[in-house]
Amino acid sequence: MNAKRIDKIATGVLYAIAAFVVIILVALLGYILVQGVPEISWHFLTSPALSFEAGGGIGIQLFNSFYLLFLALLISLPISLGAGIYLNEYAPQNTITGLIRTTIEILSSLPSVVVGLFGYLFFVVQFKLGFSILSGAFALTVFNLPILTRSIEEALANISNDQREAGYALGLSRWETVTKIVVPAALPSIITGVVLSAGRIFGEAAALIYTAGQSAPALNFHDWNPFNISSPLSPMRPAETLAVHIWKINSEGIMPDAKAVSAGASAVLIIAVLLFNFLARWLGKRLYKHLTAE
């Protein structure tokens, strides 16, 4: 065989592999959406789940997922930002920094069910937080921290050193240069990273089963005092999320329309995660444009 022929064959094989990957993705998405989208209605999205009868919705689970996401980001974003800034801007390149980086890498490859069990022992049992949104938010923080730290560190590393020198040459301190020049310039990619990690948290189930719990008690949407246990904002109430709900009804759901609810909930979950991804791209591009030219 000559080189030209081999090249043609290799190209063909690569095309076939790429097509295979795309087909799997499209088939999966298509199946979930075709099965689930017909189940989605306003009633389905807003009413509470029913355990024994048909016609239940996912309203509370949906709210729980967003609230948990919000709390988890509220805790993990400042920590990751601090860690990312330290690692990229302040840390000397030595063994200790290397050790920190390795630790973060190991942490990011922990299976989420292990994070969940750790959260159960540590937050739920040891700190007596019980099955609660707070326990769930902490578990998600453990799950999210390494990835977010990594993406923020990378975003900062991509900012050219020229920018830092420009700040120093104007008599700005390192802190001023980092906070007022480097971080703003890295903002588009930082935000992209945050939104992408939000998508991952939103779809997470295993880390939450034993931390945020598997029950979704009725919420009083007229009571916004976070200290009342029936308030939607209460961080101490158990809160089944959408992903956990899907797992639950598929393993032990006894409502007659379990299949339909599961399909609908899966479709909503997938759509939400896709929206997060598109939002990340759109926001990142928009901010970048805003910064480079108006």
Q: Which residues bind other proteins (CB under 8 A)?
A: 160, 162-163, 165-173, 176, 180-181, 184-185, 291-294
| Closer residue to other proteins, CB minimum distance, 95 or 292 | 292
- Residue 175: CB minimum distance to other proteins, A: 10
Give the residue with the Cβ less far from other proteins, 89 or 204.
89
The number of beta carbons lying within 10 Å of the beta carbon of residue 290 is: 11
State phi, psi for 159 to the nearest 5 degrees: -80, 125
N-to-C CA span, the chain: 55
CA distance 269 to 243: 7
Query: Cβ distance 148 to 80 under 8 Å?
Result: yes
Looking at residue 238, the DSSP 8-state letter turns out to be -
Is residue 216 within 8 A of residue 48, CB to CB? The reply is yes
Min dist CB 176 to other proteins, Å, is 6
Q: How far is the CB of 281 from other proteins (least distance, A)?
A: 20
Tell me the two tokens of residue 184: 């703003």
* Smaller CB separation from other proteins, 169 or 218: 169
Nearer to other proteins, 8 or 289 (CB): 289
Least CB distance from residue 94 to other proteins, whole Å? 14
